[in-house]
Amino acid sequence: MISTTTVLILFLSVSSSLGCRSYTVREGDSCWSISQSNSLSLDQFYSFNNGINCNELQIGQRVCLSEEGDAGGCSKQHTVVSGDFCWKIAQDNDLSVNDLIEINPGLDCNNLQIGEVLCVQGTGSSNPPPSNPPGSGIVSFDQYQNALRSIGVEDQNAISNSYTTVMARALEDGRVNTPRELAMFLANVMQETSFIYVRELCGVAGTCTGGYGQYYGRGYIQLTWDYNYRAYSRYVFNDDRLLSNPDLVAQDLNLAWGSSFWYWSNNVHDQVQNGEFGRSVRAINGNLECAGGPNTHAAYQRLEYYQKVLAAFGLRDSHGLAGCL
C-alpha cells in the first residue's frame, strides 16, 4: 500500500523514460488493484516491473503496464494542453469519447491535466474486428456481434470494444465460462443499460425514488446500494473510496465492467448453474420483476433478449423464467 499521504493525479501515459505503457501511482493503490483495474494478472504486473516492492509503493511512482519497449499497442499519443477536453481530443483523432476512455483506462475526463499523455490510436470500425483474446474461447467475435445485433445494439464501436473487454474478463472476474452463462450475462446487461448507460437515468436526472440516494445504479449491471459500493471498493482498492465518490464506477469503464462482473461472480454465478435464466433475474432485480413484484413484464423482456442471444450462439432455452416466476 501507499507509504505517503500526498495525493497526486492518476494518469496513464506512454513513457519515453520507462519505455512502456505506464501508470502513475495514487493514494490507496496497491499492486493488486492496479493490475486488476488494467486487466492484468499479478504475474503479468510483476513481470513488467521486475523487483518492485509492493509493500512500499510511493505516490507518484510510475509502474509499467506492458513490457519494456512496448507502448501497449499505442501507435499515436496526444499531450493534453490548455483548453483540451475529452470530446475535443476524441474528435480531433477520429475517435468517440468511449473509444478514448477504452484505450486510456482510468482516464477522468472531468480532471484532465496539462501535460498528461493520452493514447489516441484509432479503434473505430475501420480497424479489423478483434480476435478472441488468448484462452477465452467462449464465443467468436462473429457470434458475439450477431448476438448483440439481434437484441438491438447497433453501434459497431460498442460491439467491438465490449467484445474485447467481456472476453478478457468474463472468466477471470465473473466466473463466466460457458456460452449459455455468457448469454445470461449479456441479456441482463442489455436490459439494465443497453450497453450505453453506465449511470441510471433517474440518478442523472435526480428523480430516483428507491431510497438509495447517491448510490443509484452505475456500471453495466447497475451497481446499487451503499453496501455494494463498499464491498466492491474494498475488493478493488482495499478502501472505501467508492463510498465517498460512487461516480467513479461510471467514469472509469474498467470499473463499470469490473463492478458488473464482480456482482455476477458474487451474486449470480452460483445461482444459474442449473441453466435457469430466471435465477439470474431474481439475483439482479427479483424483488421488482419476479413473482409478486410489480414489474414482471421486465423479466419477460430479459428472457426475450436471452433467447435471442442463445440463438446467435447456436443454443436453445428450455427453462423460460423458471427460478423467477
The one catalytic residue among 102, 192, 200, 276: 192
Q: How far is it, in rounded angstroms, from Cα 111 to Cα 126?
A: 30
Contact 8, 116 (CB under 8 A): no
Indicate the pairing of strand 20-24 with strand 77-79.
unpaired
Positions of E strands within the chain:
12-15, 20-24, 62-64, 77-79, 117-119
Q: How far is it, in rounded angstroms, from Cα 124 to Cα 161?
A: 9
Confirm whether 192 is a catalytic residue: yes
Q: How far is it, in rounded angstroms, from Cα 305 to Cα 325?
A: 17
Q: How far is it, in rounded angstroms, from Cα 76 to Cα 257?
A: 26
Phi, psi (deg, nearest 5) at residue 41: -80, 160
Core vs surface per residue 110-142: b (16+ CB within 10 A) or e: eebeeebbbbbbebeeeeeebebbeebebbbbe
Q: What is the DSSP letter of 77?
A: E
Contact 63, 49 (CB under 8 A): yes
CA–chain centroid gap for 197, Å, is: 12
Q: How far is it, in rounded angstroms, from Cα 103 to Cα 305?
A: 29
Mind telling me the catalytic residues? 192
